[in-house]
Structure 1
Amino acid sequence: MPQYVDPYSALPVVPAFALHSNDIADGESMDVAQSSAIFGGPGQDRSPHLQWSGYPTETRSFSVTCFDPDALTVSGFWHWAVYDIPTSVNELPAGAGDVGGRNLPAGAKMLSNDSGRRGYLGAAPPPGEAPHRYIFVVHALDVPTLDDVTQDATPAWLGFRLAAHGLARARLTPLFGIPG
């Protein structure tokens, strides 16, 4: 696989905190449940379990994103974008990203991903390509809500607001590929 720059290296440096998952791990292949059925594959488009700890005490809310920097586009591909997660929540169960957000905590909002789907879209790299990286990030924010992010905003706009309000980040980067 070609070596790409870490897209988060261009953002302001903030402290890290812990992110754990029962479903994904750094550098390990994701299960088919976290892949997509959108192109006819066996995927389930099931967002992984995520649990975080050690974030700054001044955190007022969280956001969760999933980005594939290896997608065959000049802008990568946003698979998931959730924001306004209250600080009373430090865990999302598997499937929290179901379409429509019915499994999200109260108050949390979800944007459409780059496919236009308002929910988690699983991994779907072209068969035979080197495995893609899927960067799952929990962002600790200094505001309780991102009032200037509307439901029709793009994940890129959310990214601007996360950079402006970010206190710390936790991340896991699993891989996924489909044999040729």
Structure 2
Amino acid sequence: MAQPPGPYDFLPAVASFELRSDDIADGQMLSMPQVSGIFGAGGEDRSPHLTWSGAPEGTLSYAVTCFDPDAPTGSGFWHWVMYDIPASRTELAAAAGDVEGTGLRWGIKQLRNDAGMAGYLGAAPPPGHGPHRYIFAVHALSVATLPIDANASPAFCGFNMFGTTLGRALITPIYEQG
């Protein structure tokens, strides 16, 4: 069976660059720290370590997102959005996306996820729903700041990134509950 499309398959093609993590890997099961505790899946809601390199020339800032296109919502589920990450920053420590905002330095901002909290919400697909993809993306942007505020939705952030995205790097682990 062919894999369903991801959220970036419908956008104009952009350059790719390298994204690595000490915590997650393409096609591998998420570890319990990246699984949700808030939603009762036994995890810790800890955002993974991410580091990237080779972004396109002209990058002035980055945004980092995590999206589950397999959520049974008809519109997917946004787990995490950080934006206005200065171009000089190319790494986020594990837990940088906590709800306390400890990773929000250097002008970095965080939006509310689809559960309504500002910060990373770990994986918690419905039991028996099968494997879900968690698409962690680093977006290289041609603007230093996005024209949005803390009340913006993740989709509106994506809309504002449209036309300013120079490149995108992805890691897509999976998770399922029995």
The code of the aligned residue for 2:135 comes to I
1:140-176, CA deviations, whole angstroms, 9 ceiling, x for partnerless residues? 0001111x21110000000011122100000100001
Q: CA deviation at 1:101?
A: 1.8
Once residues 173 and 97 of structure 1 are traced to their aligned partners in structure 2, the CA distance between those partners, rounded to angstroms, is 18
Q: Output the amino acid matched with 1:106.
A: W
**Deviation per CA, 1:128-151, whole angstroms, max 9, x where unpaired?**
2211000000000001111x2111
Q: Within 5 A, what are the aligned runs for 1:58-97?
A: 58-97=58-97
Could you tell me which residue of structure 2 aligns to residue 15 of structure 1? 15
Cα distance change, pair 97–156 in 1 and its aligned pair in 2 (3 A):
same
1:141 paired residue number: 141
Query: 1:43-92 deviations in whole A, cap 9, x for unaligned?
Result: 10000000000001210000000000000001100000010000110000
AA in 2 matched with 1:45: D
Return the offset for 1:105. 3.1
What is residue 156 of structure 1 aligned with on the other side? Answer: 155
Structure 2 gaps of 5+ residues are none
Measured in 1, the distance between the counterparts of 2:3 and 2:91 equals 32
- After the TM superposition, which parts of structure 1 deviate over 3 Å for at least 4 consecutive aligned residues? none
Distance apart, 1:2 and its partner CA: 7.8
Residue 104 of structure 1 corresponds to 104
Question: Which secondary structure does the structure 1 equivalent of 2:152 belong to?
Answer: coil
TM-score, normalised with respect to structure 1: 0.95
Q: 1:41-56 to 2 correspondence within 5 Å?
A: 41-56=41-56
2:114 aligned partner: 114
TM-score, structure 2 as length reference: 0.96
**2:58 aligned partner, one-letter code:** E
Q: Indicate the RMSD between aligned Cα atoms, in angstroms.
A: 1.2
Q: Residue 40 of structure 1: CA displacement?
A: 2.0
Deviation at 1:97, TM superposition (A): 0.4
Amino acid in the other structure paired with 1:54 = G
Quote the Cα distance in structure 2 between the aligned partners of 1:138 and 1:105.
17
For 1:56 and 1:152, the matched residues in 2 are separated by 29
Query: How far apart in 2 are the matches of 1:67 and 1:132?
Result: 10
Identity of paired residues, percent? 57
SS at match of 2:162: helix
Q: Secondary structure at the match of 1:80?
A: strand
Matched residue SS, 2:163: helix
Gaps of 5+ in 1: none
